[in-house]
Amino acid sequence: MSFLSREATVAKPGFSRWLVPPAAVAVHMCIGQVYAFSVFNKPLSAELGVPVSRVNAAYMIALVMLGLSAAVFGKWVERVGPRKTMLAACLCFCGGLLLAALGVKLKMLWLILFGYGFVGGTGLGLGYIAPVSTLVKWFPDRPGMATGMAIMGFGGGALIASPLSQELMARFAREWGGTGATSTLVTLALLYACFMIFGACIVRVPAPGWKPDGYEPKATAANSMITSASVSVDTAWKTPQFWLLWTMLCMNVSAGIGVLGRAADMCQDMFGVSAAIGAGFTGLLSISNMSGRFLWSTVSDLTGRKTVYCLYFLLGIALYALLPHAQQTQNRVLFVICAAVIISMYGGGFSTIPAYLKDLFGTHHVGAIHGRLITAWSMAAVIGPTLINGFYDSRVAAGLPKAQAYNGTFYLMCGLLAIGLVANLLVRPVDPKHHVNDTASA
Partner 1 sequence: MKALLIWIIVVIPLLWGVTQSVKKSLPLFGVEAVAKK
Tell me which residues touch partner 1 (CB under 8 A).
16, 18-19, 22, 25-26, 29, 153, 156-160, 162-163, 195, 198, 202, 274, 276-277, 279-284, 286-287, 290, 336
CA distance 20 to 78: 17
Measured CA to CA, the distance from residue 386 to residue 132 in angstroms comes to 30
The helix-helix angle for 240-260 and 263-271 (nearest 10°) equals 50
CB of 170 or CB of 440, closer to partner 1? 170
∠ CA 248-253-257 to the nearest 5 degrees? 155
In the complex, least distance from residue 145 CB atom to partner 1, rounded to whole angstroms: 15
Task: Output 157 or 371, the one with its CB closest to partner 1.
Answer: 157
Q: Please, what's the largest Cα pairwise distance for the chain?
A: 69
Beta carbons of 44 and 55 less than 8 angstroms apart: yes
Q: How far is the CB of 70 from partner 1 (least distance, A)?
A: 22
Task: Give the Å distances, CA to CA, from 188 to 58, 66, 166, 176, 435.
Answer: 17, 19, 12, 17, 44
- Least gap, CB of 113 to partner 1 (angstroms): 27
Distance CA 428, CA 357 (A): 12
Least separation in angstroms between residue 41's CB and partner 1 is: 18
- Cβ at position 159, least distance to partner 1 in Å: 3
Of 165 and 227, which has the nearer Cβ to partner 1?
A: 165
Nearest to partner 1 of 278, 362 (CB atom): 278
Q: Which residues pair with 230 in a beta bridge?
A: 436
Q: Which is nearer to partner 1, 16 or 439 (CB)?
A: 16
Q: Collapsing DSSP states into helix, strand and coil, what is residue 239? A: coil
Residue 351 or 424 having the CB closest to partner 1: 351
- How near is the Cβ of 42 to partner 1 at its closest, in Å? 18
- By CB neighbour count within 10 A (0-12 exposed, 13-18 middle, 19+ buried), where does 208 fall? exposed
Q: Given the complex with partner 1, which of 270 and 373 has the nearer CB atom?
A: 270
Residues recorded for the chain: 442
How far, in Å, CA of 201 to CA of 350, rounded?
26
Q: Which is nearer to partner 1, 207 or 276 (CB)?
A: 276
Rg of the Cα trace of the chain?
A: 22
> How many CA atoms lie less than 13 Å away from 364 in the CB half-sphere?
22
CB of 388 to partner 1, least distance (A): 23
Q: Which is nearer to partner 1, 40 or 246 (CB)?
A: 40
Shortest Å, Cβ 76 to partner 1: 26
Burial of 140 (C-beta count, 10 Å sphere; 0-12/13-18/19+): middle
Rounded to 5°, the CA angle 347-352-357 comes to 140
Taking the complex as a whole, the smallest distance from the CB of residue 160 to partner 1 amounts, in Å, to: 4
Task: Please choose, from the candidates 101, 84, 61, the residue with its C-alpha nearest in 3D space to the C-alpha of residue 189.
Answer: 101
- Amino acid identity at 275: A
Q: Are 203 and 437 in contact (CB under 8 A)?
A: no
Nearer to partner 1, 195 or 210 (CB): 195
CB 441 within 8 A of CB 233: no
- We find the least distance from the C-beta atom of residue 340 to partner 1, in angstroms, to be 10
For the bound state, the minimum distance from the C-beta of residue 116 to partner 1, rounded and expressed in Å, comes to 21
Nearer to partner 1, 23 or 62 (CB): 23
As a whole number of angstroms, the distance between CA 405 and CA 391 comes to 9
